[in-house]
Structure 1
Amino acid sequence: MKVLIVSWEYPPVVVGGLGRHVHHLATELVKAGHEVVVLSRRPTGTDASTHPTITHISDGVLVVAVAEDPAHFVFGEDMLAWTLAMGHAMVRAGVGLARPGIGEGWRPDVVHAHDWLVAHPAIALAEYYDVPLVSTLHATEAGRHSGWLSGVINRQVHSVEWWLANESDSIITCSASMEEEVTALYGPNLSPVTVIRNGIDVATWSFRERAPRSGPPRLLFVGRLEYEKGVQDAIAALPRIRRSHPGTTLAVAGEGTQYEWLREQARTHRVLRSVNFLGSLDHAELLGWLHGADAIVLPSRYEPFGIIALEAAAAGTPLVASTAGGLGEAVVDGVTGLSFQPGDVDGLTSAVREALDDPQATQQRALAARERLTEDFDWHQVALDTAQVYLSAKRRVRHPLARPDIPQRPLPGR
């Protein structure tokens, strides 16, 4: 098939796990014999004079990275305007694929959108080429805010997500919990929803068994510094963990809007000197920290999937994770890691203590987690399953859409 993937992230422009997901999916689809074009963007803060639209082939994928145009908007200040401008630039580039001399008349068989930020170009291009629209919904605005959409931008983002879901001819989610969430938020007239878990390229994450600990325990968190990631709960648990395991430190890798607040939380709990904020890490740096940690702590309060859990398992890092969303499916409590309820600081503390107190059992769980990756999270299988969704998707007759429902209360179970 000829596949047009639309994503606001694609290497080297990677904000979070979405960019890595799309890259692995695209390259695996190419290996399976499909023609893949990825429509993405140039780095934030650039403009068309310094970073014009470029087209290049990477790992067999034709990547069209569009320039910011116009370049006046700032994502953090003008989110919806910035997104609309990006979408307009993507539509122009996507339409150009069909013009002789530009895309040599290339036309897709399917358009695959990844998340709400590309709703406008994906919907427009699927209509322009008259092909099915498949959308992968990696997260929801309501989920990120426990169902409360109190702000204007929150409601706007939810509305765009609802529009994309209801315009899609087939929907993919990364976990069963996300399937339930999407159906509850955007139903009842959705196209079929298919659960396809994220994959992991085990070969890029060298496995290392834990050596006997020679110093104070080292805990690691990796992810965006946002409230829903629960870093504040790990910080709150740290003083308790240090009482039973003196000298324990917590390294926090990632960036986000809650950095200053999290530093204040560490100060409030009197562990600021024991919390090391690392910022963003490249692959080699991340692998080094994973190999050096006694456990990775993933205390998410909301998590559609949690790709870092797979990456940590591939590196051999023991897993201590909440049961939020996809993490509850990625980590099998007592078998491939230890789990606790989201927001439960006592449960987090107990799980970390158990991991530190019994290194042998912890190592066995790490080995089981690594073995499970090749069975349940293989990118080749992810690509095959995704291609099957492409083949079965049929372009529906479009009907006018009413206004979306805006959740005014927490989601079930929140």
Structure 2
Amino acid sequence: MNSTTEKRIALISVHGDPAIEIGKEEAGGQNVYVRNVGEALAQLGWQVDMFTRKVSLEQDSIVKHSDNCRTIRLKAGPLEFVPRDEIFEFLPEFVDNFLKFQVKNGIKYELVHTNYWLSSWVGMQLNKIQHSKQVHTYHSLGAVKYNTIENIPQIASVRLAVEKDVLEKAERIVATSPQEQEHMRSLVSTKGNIDIIPCGTDIQRFGSIAREAARAELGIDKEAKVVLYVGRFDPRKGIETLVRAVNESELRDSKNLQLIIGGGSTPGNSDGIERARIEQIVNELGMSDFTTFAGRLSQDILPTYYAAADVCVVPSHYEPFGLVAIEAMASSTPVVASDVGGLQFTVVNEETGLLAAPQDVDAFASAIDRILLAPEWRDELGKAGRKRVETKFSWDGVAHQLSELYSELLQPQPVASTAKELVESTAELVQSAAKELVESTVELVQSTAKQPVLVAK
């Protein structure tokens, strides 16, 4: 594969727009992953097209990030925000518009890398229709998620069936940690091909500013003890656990303690409900004087917040990887995280931070205090964290591993001899696509509608 045309990849992220500002609704680790993987692959010579769902008329249909990397927004359902659990019914339209995009541009994607279960269904349809090969990254497993929430959505049975299907049918599954791979095998299926390739982070951007300079920039006293949370407002992110843990800190009544909660969307969106709930808890506990809701943190200012903190807390009920943890570690800031999922892989207990039982307020309070009360140990943990990220979690390293995987799967394929033949052959695929999509959708819904939601305990 010597030409850029041959080194073409479609990254599909239906609900996670790679071009959207991180911190907005439905914008989190998956968006960061897809965007950074795309840009890093482009640096390696791949032509990268990242497909996502368009949510408003104001959005550009194509956003160019670099010469070889762009985000392409396709219509699928109403041009408005739709919660991810309600998007499935619009996926046939997404596939249809994907195929039309290929025809219009005279191209065909021989390989697609899908992200999250919604996109995996899209990838499986493309395999049926035009034999595109599929690599898939889950980002979250339904079999794990549904064990951590009380109200299981109606779409759960469909999701579990799709996640099993893609594990068994895709050319390759990318697990971001050994823990995620184990969950796939024990909770989803023993079939399928899995490679472990972790998420990454920008080791130049994170770690580019020292703690003292970061605090000066943010107006934080150099003697302050700063506890930081970064992420979406979602009950499963465990922010309540963090707030209650900080309330139990030995430094609770000192004038030095500061809690900064960064992230979140604008009031009125779905995560605004959780933010209002957390703010109410903060007020009830009398923590308002030393708690700051920093709002959505831009990618420009985020490294400064990480650097300014004494400890970054990731109290999620579950995380398949935990991007925030490695961003903090890259900034030489130790992490206190839930002892679950991929966080057990990214954070080395007692070496780069501490792990605590999820939703255990006392355990988190103790772990946070251990670091806040031992500045020299805090610095040792921070240095070890930075070294671990440099060694294992740079985006360049991740992109090289993915590039090797793609190249392996994209061994020379027979291709149309002319652009005209390619367009004609793709047009034939589009004509049969609608029928294929309807049949597969009906088949999937019928096969899952009668199934109870079975979640491994």
Range class of TM-score, shorter chain: 0.7 to 0.9
1:150, distance to aligned residue in structure 2 (A): 3.4
Distance in 1 of aligned mates of 2:252 and 2:73: 51
**Once the two structures are superposed, what CA deviation does each residue of 1:45-78 show, in whole Å capped at 9, x if it has no partner?**
x13xx4463364635214322245543x6514xx
Range 194-203 or range 344-353, more displaced:
344-353
Amino acid across the alignment from 1:197: P
Distance in 2 of aligned mates of 1:128 and 1:156: 21
Corresponding residue SS for 2:351? coil
Distance in 2 of aligned mates of 1:217 and 1:201: 26
Distance in 2 of aligned mates of 1:245 and 1:364: 27
Residue matched to 1:84: 89
Residue matched to 1:3: 9
Distance in 2 of aligned mates of 1:194 and 1:279: 36
Distance in 2 of aligned mates of 1:89 and 1:3: 21
Tell me, yes or no, if the aligned pair for 1:220 and 1:251 is still in contact at 8 Å: yes
Corresponding residue SS for 2:293? strand
1:393, distance to aligned residue in structure 2 (A): 4.7
Tell me, yes or no, if structure 1 residue 95 matches structure 2 residue 104.
no
1:214, distance to aligned residue in structure 2 (A): 4.1
Distance in 1 of aligned mates of 2:356 and 2:196: 24
**Once the two structures are superposed, what CA deviation does each residue of 1:85-117 show, in whole Å capped at 9, x if it has no partner?**
2x3443233213442xx32x3222211111122
Tell me, yes or no, if structure 1 residue 145 matches structure 2 residue 151.
no
Residue matched to 2:421: none
Tell me, yes or no, if the aligned pair for 2:335 and 2:354 is still in contact at 8 Å: yes
Distance in 1 of aligned mates of 2:135 and 2:70: 19
Tell me, yes or no, if structure 1 residue 249 matches structure 2 residue 258.
yes
Cα gap change, 1:373 to 1:410, in 2 (>3 Å): same
Distance in 2 of aligned mates of 1:154 and 1:267: 35
Distance in 2 of aligned mates of 1:18 and 1:282: 16
Residue matched to 1:337: 353
Residue matched to 1:108: 109
Corresponding residue SS for 1:139? coil
Corresponding residue SS for 2:124? helix
Cα gap change, 1:26 to 1:352, in 2 (>3 Å): same
Residue matched to 1:41: 53
1:375, distance to aligned residue in structure 2 (A): 0.9
Q: How does 1:246-325 map to 2 (within 5 A)?
A: 246-247=254-255, 248-255=257-264, 256=271, 257-325=273-341
Which ranges of structure 1 fall in alignment gaps of 5 or more residues? none
Range 117-126 or range 240-249, more displaced:
240-249
Amino acid across the alignment from 1:41: R
Q: How does 1:57-206 map to 2 (within 5 A)?
A: 58-67=66-75, 69-71=77-79, 74-76=81-83, 79-85=84-90, 87-99=91-103, 102-103=104-105, 105-146=106-147, 150-188=152-190, 190-206=191-207
Corresponding residue SS for 2:261? strand
Tell me, yes or no, if the aligned pair for 1:169 and 1:394 is still in contact at 8 Å: no
**TM-score of the pair, normalised by structure 1:** 0.85
Tell me, yes or no, if the aligned pair for 2:157 and 2:448 is still in contact at 8 Å: no
Tell me, yes or no, if the aligned pair for 2:85 and 2:153 is still in contact at 8 Å: no
Corresponding residue SS for 2:300? helix
Distance in 1 of aligned mates of 2:44 and 2:358: 39
Amino acid across the alignment from 1:31: Q
Residue matched to 2:435: none
Tell me, yes or no, if the aligned pair for 2:74 and 2:98 is still in contact at 8 Å: no
Distance in 2 of aligned mates of 1:156 and 1:275: 41
Tell me, yes or no, if the aligned pair for 2:349 and 2:355 is still in contact at 8 Å: yes
Distance in 2 of aligned mates of 1:343 and 1:170: 34
Amino acid across the alignment from 1:125: L
Amino acid across the alignment from 2:262: A
Tell me, yes or no, if structure 1 residue 387 matches structure 2 residue 403.
yes
Higher RCO structure (Cα 8 Å, ≥6 apart): 2
Residue matched to 1:224: 232
1:6, distance to aligned residue in structure 2 (A): 0.9
Which ranges of structure 2 fall in alignment gaps of 5 or more residues? 1-6, 216-220, 265-270, 412-439
**Once the two structures are superposed, what CA deviation does each residue of 1:327-349 show, in whole Å capped at 9, x if it has no partner?**
11111122112222222222211
Q: 1:235 aligns with which of 226, 231, 243?
A: 243
Distance in 2 of aligned mates of 1:391 and 1:201: 24
Tell me, yes or no, if the aligned pair for 1:66 and 1:90 is still in contact at 8 Å: yes
Percent identical: 23
Residue matched to 2:429: none
Cα gap change, 1:147 to 1:205, in 2 (>3 Å): closer
Tell me, yes or no, if structure 1 residue 28 matches structure 2 residue 40.
yes
**Once the two structures are superposed, what CA deviation does each residue of 1:226-255 show, in whole Å capped at 9, x if it has no partner?**
222111111111221155662322111122
Corresponding residue SS for 1:194? strand
